[in-house]
Structure 1
């Protein structure tokens, strides 16, 4: 899953939200001494991120989508499916959340600003850009997807051609949307179970 889904699936706790996105900047075991500065709630967010990634990587609907893209994009097919699925979450937001989308984005931005001091320095420019350009809103539009893909393509080590992948979304739009609608309620259930067991509030998440 890409940024929007990871943040949405974190529920209402600010530190879980921050930890979820921070996971991309965390190396190795959560109990490693290098991660000792993070409190237990941030660490729960990191663990939630890993649960989401693991469930996504092994789900048949996701595998079907990646298979469709693999011959053209190879290992980057998984990245594309993540972004496509964020598009469908933004597009169908009211089916999955009882929180207005603008309120959600404002709440997420505030969570990072209030926890700014714990963010790794190499993460801060990304968060600044996410807030300034309202990335989460832009996923609902094709031009927003194109901008996200162009940014990722510039950072890849090998030629990815991802900057052109919006066309593949358009061509197979109904298939990707149908697969998302199979996958995402199951993903929600996994995350709600995790958050419920930890005692966190998840009232913004429907289903």
Structure 2
């Protein structure tokens, strides 16, 4: 799961909790004492979601089907593909979402961890969360992440496989997402 899916699962929590979910990939280590309590809870929630997804049979099966030399990078690509399918399900290609606006407000108003500092303003400015509804955009985002990794762009090398496997990926999302949503969605807090 990537930004959109983590935001969706955390939308019932406070702004601090949601923010923690959004920045968690930029935070390393288990010592979260430098973060406010709700942000740290959000980071931990994000990590629970990632662990649940990474161990799910759908992901394990898809990784085995991926090109052998690129399997190590498959979870990164799939995270963005899941955001694509969620954006389509939420019809974000045609309408603007209050949740996305909330995410952008949080990301605009708070500094991101160093590892994400350069990317977050671009994500907001270019409206990535709505644009994930377009699979071509999602594939370009996957290639862009691959350019930021050291060595050859293995993520770009996965794009033809993602395109060829699109129906299987969509089917995988249809099995995975309800289980993730049921197991890890944060209920709305009452005022």
Alignment TM-score > 0.5, same fold: yes
Query: Residue 165 of structure 1: CA displacement?
Result: 3.1
SS where residue 38 of structure 1 aligns? Answer: coil
Please state how far the C-alpha of 1:112 moved relative to its aligned partner.
2.0
5+ residue gaps, structure 1: 203-207
2: CA distance, partners of 1:27 / 1:184: 26
Q: Does 1:45 align with 2:38?
A: no
Per the alignment, do residues 90 and 72 of structure 1 end up closer, same or farther by CA in structure 2, a change over 3 Å counting? Answer: farther
Q: Choose which of 165, 170, 180 in structure 2 pairs with 1:187.
A: 180
Q: Go from structure 1 to structure 2 and tell me whether the alpha carbon gap of 1:123 and 1:80 turns closer, same or farther (over 3 Å shift).
A: closer
Question: How many residues of Structure 1 are paired with residues of Structure 2 in the alignment?
Answer: 187
Q: Which residue of 2 aligns with 1:6?
A: 6
CA distance in 2, matches of 1:120, 1:81: 23
Equivalent in the alignment of 1:111 = 106
TM-score when normalising by structure 2: 0.87
When residues 173 and 67 of structure 1 are mapped into structure 2, their CA distance, relative to the original with a 3 A threshold, is same
2:133 match: 140
Secondary structure at 1:27's aligned position in 2? coil
List alignment gaps of at least 5 residues for structure 2: none
Asked if 1 retains the 8 angstrom alpha-carbon contact of 2:16 and 2:38, the reply is: yes
What is the Cα-based RMSD across aligned positions, in Å? 2.2
* Mapped partners of 2:21, 2:123: distance in 1: 15
2:17–2:39: 8 Å Cα contact kept in structure 1? Answer: yes
Could you say which residue in structure 2 is the equivalent of 1:205? Answer: none
Whether 2:18 is the aligned partner of 1:26: answer no
Question: CA 1:68–1:101 in 2, change beyond 3 Å: closer, same or farther?
Answer: farther
Q: State the distance in 1 between where 2:169 and 2:96 align.
A: 22
TM-score after normalising by structure 1: 0.81
